[in-house]
Amino acid sequence: MLEKLVSKRAALVAACLSGFTVSSAMAAWEPTKPIEIIVPAGAGGASDQMARMMQAAIQNNKLSPTPIVVTLKGGANGGEGLMDMQASAGDPYKMVISNSAIYTLPLANKLPFDWRKLTPVSILAFDNFVLWVNANAPYNTAQELVEAMKKEPAGAFKLGGTGSKREDHILAAAVERISGVKFSYIPYKSGGEAATQLVGDHIKVNVNNPSENVAVWRAGQVKALCVFDNEPMDYPAKVAGDKSWKDIPTCKSQGIDFQWIMLRGVFLPAGVTPDQVAFYQDMLGKLVETKEFKEYLEKQALKPSDLKGAEMVKFLEQDEALYKDLMTQSGFVAN
């Protein structure tokens, strides 16, 4: 799906065509009171970090005339924050940073939420998933891991991830189907927890995002086997010893033909005016050009994105269909 990522200019054109006027001059609407960034996740997690970074970058570069306030609403895996956004129709002072919870929560928990009831603004980045094992593990490639697993009884390998019936769990189930192996999936509260549990050898494998494991990777405590994407990550700088993000092979090349990326996108509530949307698109467009944001992307090994307007809606629809398909196959959809 990433080949479909369009260039910046094309996205602008698409946004214009879709009816959102993005003017290069100052947008007609301006905020007059603080803007709230709703984080549908707990303190210290990837979404929270992103919100804090945005808060810092927007304030340091004076991209908004009013202050930015970060509000954590992480109850029910973010369901609380999403429902709050859905109930705030017409309020242009709230934006939410969301991930794939916008699909998984309605499917797995029958949460009465639909991202179509929000106003998509833009997708700022995509997060990759990497297959990680403990540094002392005897296998160095995904093939070796799969072979080692096939020698043991099914379920002997514990795979830890964030939550249950969410992206990590769906990914683990997909790997199981493709490789014909079986993990014991252990749900933790956060990716950070899954990282330390891997270092402590309480689990054998995790599928954390790069940012969740980068610290322990650099310390030589874990090994990266492969990345679940069509192409290696585009960060050639050495990060862990002599390894860079770019050196991690794709899982496809290792015999696990599966792509899985997660959006990190911004939404406004429903019923906001095109002027207001234009302000936010303009502000976020300047945000992604700041030094802070670029450093942040590299540090977290995120994939840049400039999807917005109609392109973003199209992406969300395809992505949702993919989630629905995979979750149905794994039996995660509530009936």
Partner 1 sequence: MEALDSLFHGFGVLLTFHNMVLMLIGICLGILVGVLPGLGGPNGVAILLPLTFTMDPTSAIVLLSCIYWGALFGGAITSILFNIPGEAWSVATTFDGYPMAQKGEAAEALTAAFTASFVGSIVAVMLITFLAPWIASFALRFGPPEFFAVYMLTFCSFVGLGKEARHKIVISLTIGFLLAAVGMDTVSGELRMTFGSVELLRGFDFLVAVIGLFGISEILLAMEEHLAFKGQEAKIRFTVVWRTWMTLPRYWMTLLRSSAIGCWLGVTPGGAIAASFMGYNLAKRFSRDGASFGKGKIEGVLAPETAAHAAGTSALLPMLALGIPGSGTAAVLLGGLMVWGLQPGPLLFVEQKDFVWGLIASMYLGNIAGLIIVLATVPLFASVLRVPFATIAPMIIVSCAVGAFAVQNAMFDIWLMLGFGIVGYVFKKIGIPLAPMTLALVLGDKAEDAFRQSMIGLDGGLGIFWSNKLVGTISTLALIMLFWPLIGKAIDMIRGSGRSAPGAASSGSSRP
Partner 2 sequence: MSDDPNVGVDPALVSTRSVEVVVMALLLGVAVFLGWDNLRIGAGWAPDGPQAGYFPFYLSVLLGGASVVGIVSALRHPDLKDEIFVGRSAFGRVLRVFIPTILFVFLVQVIGLYVASFIFVALFMIVIGKLSPWKSVLTGLIFSALMFYVFDVQFNVLLPKGPLEAAFGF
> Binding residues for partner 2, per CB under 8 A?
32-34, 36, 67, 69, 71, 184
Q: Does residue number 76 form part of the binding site for partner 1 (CB under 8 A)?
A: yes
196 binds, among partner 1, partner 2, none (CB under 5 to 8 A by kind): partner 1
Amino acid letter, residue 4: K
In the complex, minimum distance from the CB of residue 5 to partner 1, in angstroms, rounded to a whole number: 26
SS3 240: strand
Q: Which residues contact 242 (CB under 8 A, 6 or more apart)?
A: none
In the complex, minimum distance from the CB of residue 92 to partner 1, in angstroms, rounded to a whole number: 18
182 binds, among partner 1, partner 2, none (CB under 5 to 8 A by kind): none
Instruction: Tell me which residue of 226, 230, 237, 312 sits closest to 268, measured CA to CA.
Output: 312
Strands (E), 73-112: 94-98
9 binds, among partner 1, partner 2, none (CB under 5 to 8 A by kind): none
Q: Which is nearer to partner 1, 20 or 129 (CB)?
A: 129
In the complex, minimum distance from the CB of residue 173 to partner 1, in angstroms, rounded to a whole number: 13
List b or e across 83-103, with b for residues whose CB sees 16 or more CB atoms inside 10 angstroms: bbbbebeebbbbbbbbbbbbb
Q: Does residue number 26 form part of the binding site for partner 1 (CB under 8 A)?
A: no
Which uninterrupted H or E stretch holds 38? strand 35-39
Q: Does residue number 114 form part of the binding site for partner 1 (CB under 8 A)?
A: no
158 binds, among partner 2, partner 1, none (CB under 5 to 8 A by kind): partner 1
Q: Does residue number 158 form part of the binding site for partner 1 (CB under 8 A)?
A: yes
Tokens of 203: 């689990």
In the complex, minimum distance from the CB of residue 34 to partner 2, in angstroms, rounded to a whole number: 5
Which of 68, 123, 287, 326 is the binder for partner 1 (CB under 8 A)? 68
In the complex, minimum distance from the CB of residue 184 to partner 2, in angstroms, rounded to a whole number: 7
Tokens of 45: 């997690």
Is residue 114 within 8 Å of 211, Cβ to Cβ? no
Burial of 33 (0-12, 13-18, 19+ CB in 10 A): exposed
List C-alpha distances in Å: 64 to 2, 10, 68, 310. 31, 26, 8, 25
- Which 8-state DSSP code applies to residue 215? H
Torsion of CA 178, 184, 185, 188, to 10 degrees: -150
Q: Does residue number 56 form part of the binding site for partner 1 (CB under 8 A)?
A: yes
Q: Does residue number 188 form part of the binding site for partner 1 (CB under 8 A)?
A: yes
Contacts with partner 1 in 269-328 (CB under 8 A)?
295, 299
Q: Which is nearer to partner 1, 52 or 252 (CB)?
A: 52
Which uninterrupted H or E stretch holds 198? helix 191-199
Q: Does residue number 252 form part of the binding site for partner 1 (CB under 8 A)?
A: no
Residues in the chain: 335
DSSP 155-194: T-EEEEEESSSSHHHHHHHHHHHHHT--EEEEEES-HHHH
In the complex, minimum distance from the CB of residue 142 to partner 1, in angstroms, rounded to a whole number: 21
34 binds, among partner 1, partner 2, none (CB under 5 to 8 A by kind): partner 2
SS3 150: helix
Q: By rule CB under 8 A, what string of x and - marks binding of each residue 199-228 to partner 1?
A: xx-x-----------xxx-xx-x-------
6 binds, among partner 1, partner 2, none (CB under 5 to 8 A by kind): none
Rule CB under 8 A: which residues touch partner 1?
A: 42-44, 48-49, 52-53, 55-56, 59-60, 67-68, 70-77, 79-80, 83, 87, 108-109, 111, 153, 155-156, 158, 163-166, 169, 184-190, 192-193, 195-197, 199-200, 202, 214-216, 218-219, 221, 295, 299, 332
